[in-house]
Amino acid sequence: MTEQAAELHLPVMYNEVLAYLQPKNGRVYADATLGLGGHTEAVLKASAPNGRVIGFEWDNEAAILAAGRLQPFGDRVTIIHASYADMAVELIGLGVESVDGILADLGVSSLQLDRPERGFSFRKDAPVDMRMNPESAIDAAAILAGVTENELADIFYHYGEERQARRIAAHLCKARASCRIRTTRQLADLVAEAVPRRFHPEKIHVATRVFQALRIAVNRELDNLVRLLTDGPDFLRPGAAFCIISFHSLEDRIVKQAFRRDGRLRPGKPVRPTEEEVATNPRARSATLRCAVRV
C-alpha cells in the first residue's frame, strides 16, 4: 500500500517546497491538498521527531492511500476528509489556532487522471464525471445536460480561456437535444467537430481547455482557492510560509493578486520547476510555485 501511493503520484517541486516551508521539529503544518501524501511525507520527515501535519483531502480513495503511506508517522498526521475551502472551521474544530506553514498543490493527482472511470481524461472512454469528491452531487455530465448554452459558453471561456467557447457550446447544445452527452470520448469528439480544423491548437488536444473548464466548474475550484487565500493567512504564525503550486494561468493570477493585496503577507517571486524535474515528471511542466511569508 505504502509503495503504491508513492508510485501513483510524484510530488511536484518537492525540494523547492521544503526550502520555503523549512519544516522544524515540534511545528504544525497544513497540507490543503494531501493527495497521495508525497509532500506531507516530506514535511513529516523533515520535522521529525515531533512535527505534525494536518492534511485535507476531498477524494476518499486518495485519502485512504495516503493514510496507508503515512501510517509510520502515527498521530503526527491528521487526515481531514473535507474541502480545504473549509480549512478555517476544521482547524478551529481541532483546537488549532495557528500553523507554521500551509501548502496547497492544486489540480488533479495522477491517481485521478490515470483512472479512466473518474472521467477527467479524454484519452480513455469513460463516463464524463470529473468530481474530485465522488460524494458531491454534481458531475460534469449533469452540467453538460443542465445549464443553458450561454452558461456553457461562459464556463468554457472563463475557466478554459477557450476562444471557440460560443461555437463549442452551440454544437454541444444541438447534440444534447437528441442524445445526452455521457462519455469523455463523446465530448472530445463533439468539441473536435465544433472547432474548424484551422483553429485546432498545435500542441494540445482541441478538447483540453473544455475539459479543464468543466473540471473547474464541477469542483468549484476557483471559489475554493479564493476561500483558502482569504482564510489561510489568519492561521499563519509570523514568519510562516504560504506555498501554492498552481497549474494554469487562471489559478496563478488569482494567487498572485491575492498575495499582493493581502497586507498580512510578503510575497516572493514565482518559481518554476527545473528542466530535470520536467524531464522526469512531465506533470510538473505547467507548475508555478508562489510563496508568501506572514509578516
Ligand X SMILES: C[S@@+](CC[C@H](N)C(=O)[O-])C[C@H]1O[C@@H](n2cnc3c(N)ncnc32)[C@H](O)[C@@H]1O
Interface with ligand X by CB under 6 A: which residues?
Answer: 9, 11, 33, 35-39, 56-59, 62, 83-85, 105, 107, 109, 132, 219, 224
Residue (12 or 293) nearer to ligand X, CB: 12
Q: How far is the CB of 195 from ligand X (least distance, A)?
A: 29
For ligand X, the closer of residues 171 and 248 by Cβ is 248
99: closest CA among 27, 23, 47?
27
CA 291, chain centre distance (Å): 16
Residues 9/14/18/20 CA torsion (nearest 10 deg): -120
Nearer to ligand X, 167 or 208 (CB): 208
How far is the CA of 249 from the CAs of 31, 161, 256, 288, in angstroms?
22, 9, 10, 9
Smallest distance, Å, CB 214 to ligand X?
Answer: 15
Residue 166 three-state SS: helix
Contact predicate 34/41, CB 8 Å: no
Q: Which three three-digit cell numbers place residue 36?
A: 497521495
Tally of CB atoms within 10 A around 277? 20
CB 103, min distance to ligand X, A:
7
CB of 126 to ligand X, least distance (A): 17
* Type of residue numbered 15: N
For ligand X, which is the closer residue by CB, 133 or 170? 133
In this structure, what C-alpha cell is assigned to residue 108? Answer: 488533479
Q: At closest approach, how far in Å is the CB of 124 from ligand X?
A: 19
Residue 243: in which H helix or E strand, if any? strand 236-246
| Of 186 and 219, CB closest to ligand X | 219
Whole-number CA gyration radius for the chain: 20
CB of 178 to ligand X, least distance (A): 34
Q: Which is nearer to ligand X, 60 or 150 (CB)?
A: 60
Using CB atoms, what's the residue nearest to ligand X? 35
